[in-house]
Structure formats: C-alpha cells, structure tokens
Structure 1
Amino acid sequence: MGIYKHLVPGLLAAAISSQVSAEEPTKLLFGDTHLHTSYSFDAYLNKNQTADPDTAYRWAKGMPVIHPYNRAKVQIQTPLDFLVVADHAELMGVIRAVNNGTAELEDMGLWGNFKRWLTTYVINDAIENESGAKVFNEILPRKPQQATQDPVLNPDNELPIPAFGDTTKTETTAWKEIVDAAERHNDPGTFTTFHGWEWSSIPVGANLHRIVFTPDSAEQSKQFLPYGSDQSQYPEDLWTWLEETQVRTGSRFVAIPHNSNISKGFMYAETTLKGAEITPEYAKRRLKWEPVSEVTQIKGDSETHPNLSPDDEFADFETYSYYIQQASEDYRVAPADYMRSGLKTGLAIEEKIGTNPYQFGVIGSTDSHSGLASAEEDNFWGKFARDSTPETKVSKDKLGGSKNTGWSMASSGLAAVWAKENTRDAIFDAFQRKEVYATTGTRLSVRVFGGWDMDESSLSADDFAEQGYQQGVPMGGTLSANQEGKAPQFLIRAVKDPNDANLDRVQVIKGWIDGNGEQREKIFNVAWSGDRQLDSNGKLDAVGNTVNLETAQYDNSIGAPELTTRWQDPDFDPAQRAFYYVRVLQIPTPRHGLYDAVALQQPQEGPATIQERAYTSPIWYKP
C-alpha cells in the first residue's frame, strides 16, 4: 500500500524521456479539435474576416500569419501535431459570403429581398463599427430562464432564422472549401487534419454543442452537408444522422461534447434532454458516438467546481461563471455541468441499468474564434479576434452582454493523444479507445497504466510503455474484478513540458459508489517534488511560487522535471464501481493577465498566476 516517489534530475529526465518516447509503441501528439475561422458566423461578426482555414492550418504548423484584427505578424511557439477546423454548421460561411458579395441566395420576391438587403446592411454596419455581438444576440436570442424538462420545447426558445432565405448553396460551397483546405494541409506522419464542424445546440442558453469530425476522405465528406442545430437540437437526432450518414457514405465519426461548465445542468444529467429516463439503448448510443468529452478550453475549466468538491484545494481553477446569451441570469452550479460529478453520475446510472452513458475520456481544446489555436499564456490571442490586444479585452460590447472580459477567459487547452502514428486513422483510433488526455495548454507528458500486478521496476525501464500495455490497461481502459479481490495498482509517469515549468505533484482522483449507493470522491497525492510530507489528512504543503509579479517571470528552482510512482488504492472495495484519473499540476507560472498588466503598467485583472495541469482519461473498475 506504500507510496513510491521517484525524481530524476532535469537533464537526465529530458534525455530518458526523449529516448523512451522514440521507442514506445504509441507516441504523444498534441492538437486542437475545436478551432473556428472566418467561416463561423460569430467569429466573422467579431472581426475575424480574414483568418480562414488555410490561416488556421498555417498557424498550427508553426508558420507566421497575419492576425485578422490587429494585423500583426503572429506565430505559435510550438507547432501542433493535428488540428480540426470546427466551424459552426449553422450559417456555415454565410455571413462571410453575404459580407463579401459571394453568397448564392434564392430570389425571395420584392419584400423578401428588401428584408434580406436590410439585414445585410445592419450586419455590415455592425462589423464596421465593432458591434457584432449585438447582431449575434438578435440572430440567436435566448430567454434568461431555466427549463426543468425538455428545454428544446420551451415556448420561449424559438430559433429565429435570419432573413437570408435558403442558404444551402452557400453553406455547401463553404463546406467544400473547408474540406479542400484540410486536404491541402494534411501531411501523414507530420501534421494531420480532419474534416469537422460544430453542432451548436443551445436550448434556453444551455451550451450543449458537439464537435464532430471524421478521419475519412474528401470524397466521402463532400457527400454530406454538416448537420446543424437548425435541423434539430436533440443529441439523439444528431446520432441518428451520424448513423444514417455512415451507412450512406461509409464515413466514420466522433462527436465530442463541448466544455460542459455552461450547460445549465443538462450535459451529464440523470435524464435525457427530453426529460426521459436514460435507457440501456440510449446509454449505448451515447457511448458509441461520444467516447470523449472536452473538459477545458477558453471558456473555463470543467473538471469540477468548489461547490461540488469542497475538499479539493485545486477545484477553483479557471472557474468561468458566464452564460453565452443571458446578461441578466446568474450562474448556477449543477453537478451535470462538470466532468467529475458527471463521471460519478455515470456510475450511478450503470448501477441501475447496467450501462454507463458517461464512460468518457477527456481532452482539452481552445474554442478560439480567431483562427489561431493559441493556448500559450505568453502568446494568447483571445477568444475572438477583437479581444486580441490588452486594450480591447475590456470592450463594452461583449458577446451576450455578460460581465466577462478578455481576462475572464482561459488560455486553454490542448488535446493530448497517445497514437501509433501521426495519421488520421491512428488519431481517430486513439479517440475511440479513449487513450487521450486534456491539458490546459502545457505539453507535459502523462502515462498511466492500471492492473493487478504492476511491476514497479517498469517505471525506469526503457520500454516502460510496452511493459505497461503488457501488465495492464492504459488510460481509457476498464479493469474487471479479479478472483483474489486485489486492489488495483497504477503505474504513473509524468514529464514536464521541455519549454515550460517543473511539476508540483501528481494526484489520483477516485470516484465510486459506496455500499449505501452514495456517490463519493477522494483525492490522493501520490507523487510530488521536494521533501514535503503528507499530513494526517493526506494533504501536502504548497510547492511555493517563484513568479515575479513585477516582471511576469518565473524560474524552475522548485518542482521536479519528472514524477513517477506505483500507487495502489488503499481504500479499495471489490464490490464497488469506481473510476480513477490522474491530475498533474505544474508549479505556479504567470497567467496571461499578468503579462498584459506588466505591459500596460497597471494592476492585473483575474489571478496573477496559474498552476497549469493535465487530466487523464479515467480507468474504470467494474465489479
């Protein structure tokens, strides 16, 4: 039951990790599956008129590009390995085409054409005067109210269609251009692109969006037009469309639930969106199409909330409390809005029906609308193009009229994937088996294997991963009960981002259903830097803080470059369903608001420092 901690000096750790990485059966890739360009109507209305899919791919590959708003030459510091351009299906490319005069629109008669001209005039004026958020609210208004059952059918929840008439031709042209851009930039083995979009269901302002992508060919993707929430706002209907389109075209799909923190209690609820009981059939369909969820991005972090995890000292991290449309509605915390409580709800549902609808892996992504997948604190370009400079982060014309500013946003996140190679099929397969994890923007490496007889010496072996696969299951896997009733063991290795901060600690978060049917959680500190000791409650002193608030600089004089351990659950009950995921924390570093404050020579807004982190997909135990 002991805790094993191994620290490797910096240069040696980097050398070992690099060598092992080259020999492992799967390699670590970092990407973004949620990036918007000028083809998204809300991006275009918020001053991204030039950063198209080509710009997005060039930025992600490390090339210098021109920023769509401030026109500066900008460049990512560390290129990505893969990217999904996921523009909104609704009005895909339409606002862009209307504004530049290339829209293919139907003849609506004298009065209809006049209304369309008037709408176009208002949009163009709003874009010119940077009041695009107001137009956005007029196109997609939402009432500030909370529905208890079936919010889609709420009488005040109509989805108005702008006065453009049938936009199918314009959307089809845009989709083909997006697909062609992905094909031009796909370079198997070096940089991978996917065809994707965002299905933007938002009943009563509850963000229930899904990112959908396919690893298949342009020929297949051009046989369909992305399914949007203007066709249906129910996820079941999206799954039906995916099933039918797969049969018709042979295309494979993954649907990724949007960061859940602003879903108003619907994303991981105990019932379906229609308010019905979750059945085994529903659970299996959700498992099939939604194996992975997004848990951290620009609009905050969805791991957990202080109200839901009061004993978690790191729960209040990039907490985002602003709904999309409702300026007058206060934020309400619901268990179904957060990953950890959603995972526990899944265990409880499985107890009743035998299938867990929320047995999902986790990733991070940006949800940037600037065309730039920027998740680096000192190179963060905001949510929208027009909040890309320190001065414009306090714009009075905010999206939805909410009280948030550019400093309310998080410089997050990234999708980390353990794949056999950097190709569409290999990355897609990793998503399907959930061997993926989320980071808040850092490139730290995390490996986790769970089993019943894990060899501690494997942690220092050159073929660590190969031994891990042989002895147990990786993140995203499931452990079944063993005859001896042993407690599961976990081999964990975390290595710092070579260009970022040292590591503070490694934690295992356990969730389970106890003997009384109650949902429980516990956090274990399992490896840490320095000579700190656990107290009687299993707590660990803070690692310290080297950030200079006057210069926005830090150093790696604290923390460790690598942390490894073999850990065994000391509280294991073989009769109780459980999940285990790993959280790795870096030492404190400057948050993007501090960099702005130093540049502006004024007090920063929001936290000055941040402990970047990673969350792995869980390993589940089933009795």
Structure 2
Amino acid sequence: MKIRTAAGILSALLVTQAWATEKQILWGDTHLHTNRSFDAFTNRNFSVGPDEAYRFARGLPVEHPGHKARVQLETPLDFLVVSDHAEFLGNIRHLYNVGIPTEGMGFFQKLRVWYVQYLIRDAIKKGEGRAFFVRQLPEPFDTPQEAISEWDLAGSVFPRVPILEDQAWSDIADAAEANNIPGQFSAILGWEYSLIPGGANLHRVVMTDLDGESAKVFQPFGSDDSLYPEDLWAWLDKTSEETGGNFIAIPHNSNISKGAMFDTITMRNEPIGPEYAEIRRRWEPIVEVTQYKGDSETHPVLSPDDPFADFEDYPYYIQRDWTEYKPQVGDFMRSALIRGMQIEREIGVNPYQFGVIGSTDAHTGLAAAEENNFHGKFATDSMPSSKLEGWSDNANSSFGWAMGAQGLAAVWAEENTRESIMQAMKRRETYATTGPRIGLRFYGGYGLDATALEASAFPYESSGAVPMGGELDPQKGSAPVFLVHAMADPKSGTLDRIQIVKGWVDEAGEANEQIFDVAWSSPDRMQADGSLRPVPNTVDLETGGWSNDAGAASLTAEWRDPEFDPAVAAFYYVRVLEVPTPRHSLLDKLALGGDVDTRRPDIVQERAYSSPIWYRPSE
C-alpha cells in the first residue's frame, strides 16, 4: 500500500496529466434535462434550453432558471448529453408560450386541446405546476407488470403533437452541433425513455454518437411508443443499421424500481432467457449508479455488514400517492451484479454484466454535482428557503434536501470525441463518482506489480491485464492480482480508503459479497481485529469548513484475493471513499441562519465506484 499526503497533491495532479498519454479521463454528465422536458417546464424552468445547458457544461456563465442569478461551473465538463424526455418532447413549453396547433382537428379534439391548455397554463401561472405534474403520475402498483397490463397509452392529459416533438428534437440537434468542439468538448445527443409503470422507475437515457443532421432523420423512441424495453432495443437495432450510428441505453434510478430494473422476469412477465440477456447486454453496457435521486450501489437491508451502505438513500417512488419504500434485490447495483451471475448459471448468459457511471438528472439545465455549487433538482427548489417544500401535500413526499448533489460520469477514452466516448462506454471502461473528480485506475491480471502504475502509461494490454469493465480468464496455478490507484480531487476531500468489493455465487446458488480494505490514509488506523479505525470527521458544523489533513492525496494498492477459488466465478469492483465533508443541506442550513431541520445529514462521505472486473473460471 502506498499513500501520498495532502502536501503531495500537486504532484498527484501532474500524474493525472501524465495518464493522458494514451487514454485520458473525461468527465461528463449523460443525464441532463432542459426546458424541453415537460416536468422541467412545469417546475418553472422557462429559460434554460439545450444551448444554455451545453454552454454551462463548457464552463460559460448562464442565468439560473429559478432565482435568476448568474451561475457557472468552476471546472468545465468534457462532455454532456442533453437527455430530455422523449415523451411530449417540447410540447408543454410550446403549449404555454404559443399554444398547440389545432389545424386539421375535429371539434371535440380541439375542445380537449383547449381545455388541457387552460389547465396547464393556469397551474403554471399560479405556481402550481409541480402539483399538476404530480397529479399526472401513475397510481401505485406492487409490480410494474401488473401496472402495464392496465396501462392506457392514450389516457394521458398531456397532448402528443408529433410536429412539435420533431421541432424540439431538431432544436436539440442544432444546439449539440453548435457546441461540439472535438478534442475539447463533446456535445452528445440523447434523450430519456421514461417508463414508470405503477411508480416503478424503469427509465433509460439513450445516447448516440451521431451528428445533429444525421439524427434528425428519426424521432426519439419513448414509452409512449412502447411500454416494453425490448421494443426500445429493437428500435435501436433498426435505427443503428439505418443510420450507421452507435447507440446505448443507460438505466438509472434502479433504487426506486420496485425491484424491477434488474428482475428475474421481463416486463412481459416471462422468465429471462438467453436471447433477452444477450440483447440487453448489447444495448445496456453501463448503468447510472448515482444521481440526484439517490445512490444505487447497495442498501443496508441488502448489505447489513457494510458500514458504508447507508448512503444517500432516496425512499420516494415516483407515483401519485405515497407507499412505503421497500428495498429489493433488483433495485441495486451490487445485488444485481450477483443476480446476473445467478441467471448465467441457469441460462448461460449474464444479462447484468454492466459497468457504471454517475450523472445528475438535473432539470434546471445545469449539470452541477458539487455540494457547494448545487442548484437544485428543479428550478422551484433551487434556493435554500424552498428546499423543504414537498412535492405534494403528503408529509412523506420528496423534497429539495432529499436530493443528493451527485454525480459524474468518468470515461477512459482515447480522445474527446463522441465516437471515442461511446466506445469507452461500450467496453465499460468507465466509473462513477458522487461529484468529486477522483482519479481512478483499476486493473486485473497475473504477475502484476504496483510499480507499473508509476509509469505515465501502464501498458496493461501487453501484460495480459484488463482494465475496469474487463473479463479475466484463469491462469493455471495463479491467482489474479489487482492494481488500484486513486487520486483525490484537489477541490474536494482527501482520501479515506480504497476498498475492493467482491461478489460471487456459491455451490448452492446463494449470493455472497465481501468488502476488503486495500489502502488507507494512515498505517496506524489498522486495529487488532483487522478493521480500520474511522477517519476523523473534521467538519465544522458552525462554518461548513473541514480539514484534509487526515486523508491522503493519493493511494495505491496491489491486492490478491485471500479467499480466491479458481473454480468460482466472481466480480471485483473498487469503491474509493473521501474524508467527511459538508453536505449541501448543511451549507443551506448555515445560509438560513442555522436553526433549520433539513431532515437530511449534515455530513457526506463522497465516493467513487469503478466498473467491475469479472473473473471467469475454465469451463
């Protein structure tokens, strides 16, 4: 184990630059909504559209859609996907500002449109757009399969007007082209497929490396086209062939999917088979594991022996009426990775062999994931004084401080272009952070030595090693070696520790997980029982300041699994923890004078998650 103290942070930064010799870390957000999304507009994002969103991500100042102050990122992003909802794309904005075109409609159709326009305009003008939006959410069901069987696609109060959706998509494509600067900033096209049967979040962000003009030949596929993800994948297959573009779909907020995101059955209530598993693996190589609406790594109910499992929980289903939150295996990354291995034992294919990223899901058009620069989920909860307001009259509804100021997507790519970023995602050479730009390298192989990480470009391919997202074949008589190197974000907390999380399925088919501390900030933290003494919490609750002295600027580990069994398949991923720092809820509390119950923690321990490396035994 090697550590570097905070005093060495400058040299760590120099190493970060050296890493870019062959591949570089690119930082971005794949999940960002503008005023073209119906829920962003009803929550008073009137001013930040696709162009403003891309400019903000590039580091330019824009006006906040809520409080109207000038806002700006301290450190620009390298890429952004504007991913407005495909459903009713741009319709509500046009309805409010201009009105829905009624040419060619019959009398009763026009009457319905006029009535809907009145309802929506009146609600927004009165500041009741959020309440109106909540009333349109689905009734709760225990299972999405049951909800889908009773779903009426034509029953939405929101009108679908294809001509307006085409224009909105064209506007987004034009904004992407205007802001795309190959080698400097990638403005990537995408949208959200927003399926939510019975309150089970089954949303996917879809992204493509196509340029704007090429993308204008199609209209984004949404849940108003089909309620079945399999139909989305079929559409992606067809459209990819027709356009020559690459596409991927990225599931998000599995934490509020009622167990359905990583289920053992499909939305058609059929057992997962080999064909389904292969298709899903192809189109969904990565998942969004952390964002404003909570963290989806794991949960204390599922990982009771993990002291860091209780992190940024979000127990609020997206539905009209409140029901009690129940964490399930299909809701979280770690348990889903194990479930995928269980399914593979039965059918020969793992449907849940995915990498990970983080993103924001901001509906302000502002991709901000810093605790001290958090601009709210919606324009309506962008100020400290508005963050305790609930989404509905129910005391158990979500509210502004329930949101986490997270996360970011980190991609190891050869160059900053749409195509290179997409290829890195397809090979799963990605990782997630909850906001800080923690540098992370993770390799697995045989006969490796940590000194290799000191080179400016570790030639892992020539050594037979694989990076995060890769698969390790067995080597007779040898256990794999894992190399990890993490570097702190100089604008955030220093590092507490590096952990490696292992998951496997035993002979009885049961799920198993284990967490190993492999590097930490100070040697004297190791206790007699093999556990680590917690890193000191130095956050000053009166000022929001903290000390980085207890953490390390850089940590390196060379690790072998002490319980490795060459006959047992397993996955390994890295979790990096920072020292405790102030959460945005504490900073807001201080801004309001301190006498406020935010109902959320004052402290956060930011982190990074790597994509796994899978070990496969001989057949």
- Is contact 1:291-1:432 (8 Å) kept? yes
- The aligned amino acid for 2:463 is Q
Offset at 1:270? 1.4
**Partner residue in 1 for 2:517:** 525
- Is contact 1:468-1:491 (8 Å) kept? no
**Partner residue in 2 for 1:582:** 574
* Distance (Å, rounded) in 1 between the aligned partners of 2:222 and 2:31: 16
Aligned counterpart for 1:307 among listed residues 301, 307, 313: 301
**Partner residue in 2 for 1:180:** 174
Aligned counterpart for 2:149 among listed residues 136, 149, 154: 154
- Distance 1:79-1:604 versus aligned 2 partners, 3 A rule: farther
Report whether the alignment pairs 1:512 with 2:508. no
Report whether the alignment pairs 1:123 with 2:120. yes
- Distance 1:36-1:357 versus aligned 2 partners, 3 A rule: same
Note the alpha carbon deviations across 1:114-136, whole angstroms, 9 max, x for none. Answer: 22112111111111122112322
* Distance (Å, rounded) in 2 between the aligned partners of 1:553 and 1:504: 17
**Partner residue in 2 for 1:51:** 48
- Is contact 2:9-2:490 (8 Å) kept? no
* Distance (Å, rounded) in 2 between the aligned partners of 1:467 and 1:16: 21
Aligned counterpart for 2:189 among listed residues 195, 198, 215: 195
Runs of at least 4 residues of structure 1 off by over 6 A?
Answer: none
**Partner residue in 2 for 1:541:** 533
Alignment of 1:26-41 (within 5 A): 26-41=23-38
What secondary structure, in the 3-state scheme, does the structure 2 residue paired with 1:122 have? helix
Offset at 1:555? 1.8
* Distance (Å, rounded) in 2 between the aligned partners of 1:111 and 1:239: 36
Report whether the alignment pairs 1:478 with 2:471. yes
* Distance (Å, rounded) in 2 between the aligned partners of 1:574 and 1:203: 42
Report whether the alignment pairs 1:8 with 2:42. no
* Distance (Å, rounded) in 2 between the aligned partners of 1:7 and 1:609: 24
**Partner residue in 2 for 1:225:** 219
Offset at 1:24? 3.1
- The aligned amino acid for 2:83 is A
- Is contact 1:133-1:400 (8 Å) kept? no
Alignment of 1:360-509 (within 5 A): 360-398=354-392, 402-463=396-457, 465-467=458-460, 470-484=463-477, 486-509=478-501
Report whether the alignment pairs 1:561 with 2:562. no
What secondary structure, in the 3-state scheme, does the structure 1 residue paired with 2:558 have? strand
**Partner residue in 2 for 1:133:** 130
- The aligned amino acid for 2:125 is E
- Distance 1:20-1:500 versus aligned 2 partners, 3 A rule: closer
**Partner residue in 1 for 2:85:** 88
Offset at 1:50? 0.8
* Distance (Å, rounded) in 1 between the aligned partners of 2:15 and 2:523: 28
Offset at 1:468? 7.0
Report whether the alignment pairs 1:316 with 2:310. yes
* Distance (Å, rounded) in 2 between the aligned partners of 1:330 and 1:512: 30
Offset at 1:535? 4.0
What secondary structure, in the 3-state scheme, does the structure 1 residue paired with 2:516 have? strand
- The aligned amino acid for 2:326 is R
Note the alpha carbon deviations across 1:124-160, whole angstroms, 9 max, x for none. Answer: 111112211232234x33122202x7235332x3345
* Distance (Å, rounded) in 2 between the aligned partners of 1:303 and 1:164: 34
Number of residue pairs the alignment of both structures matches: 614
Offset at 1:525? 0.3
- The aligned amino acid for 1:64 is P
Report whether the alignment pairs 1:345 with 2:339. yes
- Is contact 2:12-2:553 (8 Å) kept? no
* Distance (Å, rounded) in 2 between the aligned partners of 1:46 and 1:108: 29
Note the alpha carbon deviations across 1:201-235, whole angstroms, 9 max, x for none. Answer: 11111100110010012222011000010111111
- Is contact 2:360-2:408 (8 Å) kept? yes
* Distance (Å, rounded) in 1 between the aligned partners of 2:409 and 2:395: 30
**Partner residue in 2 for 1:252:** 246
* Distance (Å, rounded) in 1 between the aligned partners of 2:393 and 2:10: 43
* Distance (Å, rounded) in 2 between the aligned partners of 1:145 and 1:431: 34
- What TM-score do the two structures reach when normalised by structure 1? 0.95
* Distance (Å, rounded) in 1 between the aligned partners of 2:451 and 2:526: 24
Offset at 1:168? 0.5
- Distance 1:19-1:585 versus aligned 2 partners, 3 A rule: closer
Q: Which moved more, 1:43-52 or 1:165-174?
A: 165-174
Offset at 1:394? 2.0
Offset at 1:198? 0.1
* Distance (Å, rounded) in 2 between the aligned partners of 1:144 and 1:571: 44
Aligned counterpart for 1:76 among listed residues 66, 73, 77: 73
- Is contact 2:262-2:330 (8 Å) kept? yes
What secondary structure, in the 3-state scheme, does the structure 2 residue paired with 1:95 have? helix
Q: Which moved more, 1:100-109 or 1:499-508?
A: 100-109
Q: Which moved more, 1:249-258 or 1:586-595?
A: 249-258
* Distance (Å, rounded) in 1 between the aligned partners of 2:376 and 2:442: 32
* Distance (Å, rounded) in 2 between the aligned partners of 1:80 and 1:621: 33
- Distance 1:203-1:536 versus aligned 2 partners, 3 A rule: farther
- Is contact 2:358-2:431 (8 Å) kept? yes
Q: Which moved more, 1:68-77 or 1:426-435?
A: 68-77
Offset at 1:103? 4.2
* Distance (Å, rounded) in 2 between the aligned partners of 1:253 and 1:550: 48
- Is contact 1:9-1:561 (8 Å) kept? yes
What secondary structure, in the 3-state scheme, does the structure 2 residue paired with 1:183 have? helix
- Is contact 1:584-1:614 (8 Å) kept? yes
Note the alpha carbon deviations across 1:416-473, whole angstroms, 9 max, x for none. Answer: 011111111110110010000000001010100001111232133333x335763400
**Partner residue in 2 for 1:144:** 140
What secondary structure, in the 3-state scheme, does the structure 1 residue paired with 2:113 have? helix
Note the alpha carbon deviations across 1:63-114, whole angstroms, 9 max, x for none. Answer: 1110111111111121110000000000000000111106444432223212
Report whether the alignment pairs 1:592 with 2:605. no
* Distance (Å, rounded) in 2 between the aligned partners of 1:461 and 1:26: 13
Report whether the alignment pairs 1:573 with 2:573. no
- The aligned amino acid for 1:530 is S
- Is contact 1:508-1:523 (8 Å) kept? yes
What secondary structure, in the 3-state scheme, does the structure 2 residue paired with 1:425 have? helix
Offset at 1:10? 3.5
- Is contact 1:325-1:400 (8 Å) kept? no
- Distance 1:64-1:276 versus aligned 2 partners, 3 A rule: same
What secondary structure, in the 3-state scheme, does the structure 2 residue paired with 1:470 have? coil
- Is contact 2:390-2:397 (8 Å) kept? no
- Is contact 2:253-2:288 (8 Å) kept? yes
What secondary structure, in the 3-state scheme, does the structure 1 residue paired with 2:504 have? strand
* Distance (Å, rounded) in 1 between the aligned partners of 2:444 and 2:295: 26
- The aligned amino acid for 1:142 is P
Note the alpha carbon deviations across 1:484-525, whole angstroms, 9 max, x for none. Answer: 2x2211110000012111000000000001122211000000
What secondary structure, in the 3-state scheme, does the structure 1 residue paired with 2:545 have? coil
Aligned counterpart for 2:283 among listed residues 289, 297, 313: 289
- Is contact 2:85-2:194 (8 Å) kept? yes
* Distance (Å, rounded) in 1 between the aligned partners of 2:539 and 2:549: 11
**Structure 2: tracts of 5 or more residues without a match:** none
- Is contact 2:194-2:203 (8 Å) kept? yes
- The aligned amino acid for 1:135 is F
**Structure 1: tracts of 5 or more residues without a match:** none
- Is contact 1:512-1:520 (8 Å) kept? yes
Instruction: Provide the alpha-carbon RMSD of the alignment.
Output: 1.7
**Partner residue in 2 for 1:622:** 616
- Is contact 1:40-1:93 (8 Å) kept? yes
**Partner residue in 2 for 1:101:** 98
**Partner residue in 2 for 1:113:** 110
- Distance 1:611-1:129 versus aligned 2 partners, 3 A rule: same
